[in-house]
Structure 1
Amino acid sequence: MAHVNICLKRLLTIFNIFFAIIGGLIIGFAFLGQTLSYSHGGGNIEGRGTGLIVLYVFGAVTMVVAVLGAYGSHKENKGCLIAFLVCMVIGSLIMLRSGIPAATMRPMLAGILEQKIRTALPLDTASLEDRNMAESIQQELQCCGLFSYRDWEDSIPDTCLCNQAVEREGICQTIFTEHMERKVIYEKTCFPIVLQYVLLIADIVIGFFFTLAVLALLGLALSSVMIHQMRHGVRAPVMMAVPAIFSAMPPKYEELKNPPEY
């Protein structure tokens, strides 16, 4: 078997160790999301189960592929490296196929989200699930209404109200309802804050897709070069021979002596 460059071999092994760490982080993130879902939803993770399963599977596949590549590079196993190369090709195509549409949709995300949220207005007549979600957002983000406090019509909930401690911070406003009832509510509306978090998550997801695509292309290139070297070997450097006529040693001369006189 032809030998490969030792630096390339170590670089591909380190790359796969890093790749395995990414897979472990994805599994850890999925476990954290599952734990938070249980703590906030009382064990009901309906609607999030598919996303968690995808994260678990993706993290596990990433770790398996990384182990395959690390073993192939360390043992110089051509079969494992070819399988790793195929996985890198498929992975890079999947990441680009997911990342490019996500990056294209990102500028339109604000309009799509606003259009979807406006279908739930007014909030006082919305479904119980929508009202509970809106009140939870108001309580967490200290805001009132999605676009305006008027989203609640004349039934402003307690989650919009400011207490005395918050009122001194200057983030509240005073309004009067149709029944001339004075209320001190949060000045900010919730939609701009929610949109900011949604766009941040979208940027993280897009960056995740393209980062994995670049890593897959790098793994593809390293494994391709290593497979090529295993087939054809590493070309040894050519040493130029110095002709004898240019030898550094000077020629030996015989000592000339005068012939004896008789």
Structure 2
Amino acid sequence: MGKGSVWLKWSYIGAISVIAGIGVLMLGFTLFSHGYLMHEEELESLVTGFHFAYGFISITLLLTIIGGFGVWKEKKWALIVFTVGMILCTLYLIANEVGLLIVPSQLKVLLEDDYLSMLPLSKVNVTEIAHLNNTQSELKCCGLLSYRDWDYNIPKSCLCAENSLNPCVAAPRNSSLFIEDRIVMIYAKPCLSIITAQAMKTIHIASGILMGLILLWVGSIASCIAILCQLNKKMETPKVVYSSEAKAGNYTSLMEAPDTEIT
């Protein structure tokens, strides 16, 4: 390749190296998540997602190896395999991106319906109580729509921390937290609005990351196609062939040099 092609070649190698690095990080995160959720009840519903993740990451890593081999050895078949495979992977990412753009409105409704089905909170089971207590402690909130969702049996996870910056209100006098001659403060904000807001924020962040991956994948495809085009236009050096007709002395003078007189 020419001098300009060298820069294109190294930019392509840099792009697929970044993709390979991201693939390794994604594989590590997926393995960690799979192991962490191994004994969780929700794992059965996530198994298909883990399988898709393993397959996508493995194919991506394999394609980067093939693409690196193709550009280093200038093998057109390897670059073509990389291009076709990455185009299919990009279409998969675009489908997921479209899904993330559609999901937020539906997810918000599903989350609200799921949590509201727990009302009244005084009748939830032990597992749901533990989940709600953790949520209230982390998000500094109380109840789903209001602290009144707990009726009089307000849990200690609703207690306001000292010097809390979150708005707090006095616990009702008929609640289990009420202490005579002492004001007990609990968090005023309900949890459901905070939960849905955090879920929407997470989806938007995931959508932005996915868009960045799509652009990186598309960039590697464009670089690979450009390299393929240059390989097709590559000029071969003409071979030097010896001819018996090319002999020394087979030349004639076009005109005689004039004689010069020396005086």
Coarse TM-score class (shorter-chain normalised): 0.7 to 0.9
Shift of 1:177: 4.7
What letter corresponds to residue 132 of structure 2 in structure 1?
A
Shift of 1:108: 4.6
Shift of 1:181: 6.6
> Could you say which residue in structure 1 is the equivalent of 2:110?
112
Relative to the length of structure 2, the TM-score reads 0.75
Q: Aligned equivalents of 1:102 and 1:170: distance in 2? A: 33
> Could you say which residue in structure 2 is the equivalent of 1:25?
25
What letter corresponds to residue 194 of structure 2 in structure 1?
I
> Could you say which residue in structure 1 is the equivalent of 2:213?
212
What letter corresponds to residue 135 of structure 1 in structure 2?
N
Structure 2: runs of 5+ lacking an equivalent: 179-183, 237-263
The C-alpha deviation readout for 1:70-124, integer Å capped at 9, x for no partner, is: 2211111111111101111101111111111321332454333223321221122
1:16–1:66: 8 Å Cα contact kept in structure 2?
yes
> Of 157, 160, 181, which aligns to 1:159?
157
Q: Aligned equivalents of 1:149 and 1:234: distance in 2? A: 78
Q: Aligned equivalents of 1:34 and 1:129: distance in 2? A: 22
2:120–2:150: 8 Å Cα contact kept in structure 1?
yes
What letter corresponds to residue 47 of structure 1 in structure 2?
E
What letter corresponds to residue 14 of structure 2 in structure 1?
I
Matching of residue 68 in structure 1 with residue 66 in structure 2:
yes
Q: Aligned equivalents of 2:119 and 2:211: distance in 1? A: 37
**Mean alpha-carbon deviation: is it higher for 15-24 or for 216-225?**
216-225
Shift of 1:148: 0.9
Shift of 1:52: 4.4
1:147–1:191: 8 Å Cα contact kept in structure 2?
yes
Shift of 1:53: 4.6
Structure number with higher relative contact order (C-alpha < 8 Å, ≥ 6 residues apart)? 1
The C-alpha deviation readout for 1:174-218, integer Å capped at 9, x for no partner, is: 122546972432222222322232122101221232222222222
1:117-156 equivalence runs, <5 A = 117-156=115-154
Structure 1: runs of 5+ lacking an equivalent: 236-262
1:26–1:56: 8 Å Cα contact kept in structure 2?
no
2:9–2:227: 8 Å Cα contact kept in structure 1?
yes
The count of aligned residue pairs is 228
Q: Aligned equivalents of 2:176 and 2:218: distance in 1? A: 65
Distance 1:176 1:68, change over 3 A: same
**Mean alpha-carbon deviation: is it higher for 226-235 or for 75-84?**
226-235
The C-alpha deviation readout for 1:16-45, integer Å capped at 9, x for no partner, is: 10110110121232244356x36xxxx623
Distance 1:147 1:225, change over 3 A: same
Q: Aligned equivalents of 2:151 and 2:95: distance in 1? A: 44
Q: Aligned equivalents of 2:218 and 2:156: distance in 1? A: 53
Q: Aligned equivalents of 1:54 and 1:93: distance in 2? A: 14
Q: Aligned equivalents of 1:107 and 1:28: distance in 2? A: 31
Shift of 1:141: 2.2
What letter corresponds to residue 199 of structure 1 in structure 2?
M
> Of 151, 172, 178, which aligns to 1:176?
172
What letter corresponds to residue 76 of structure 1 in structure 2?
E
> Could you say which residue in structure 1 is the equivalent of 2:39?
44
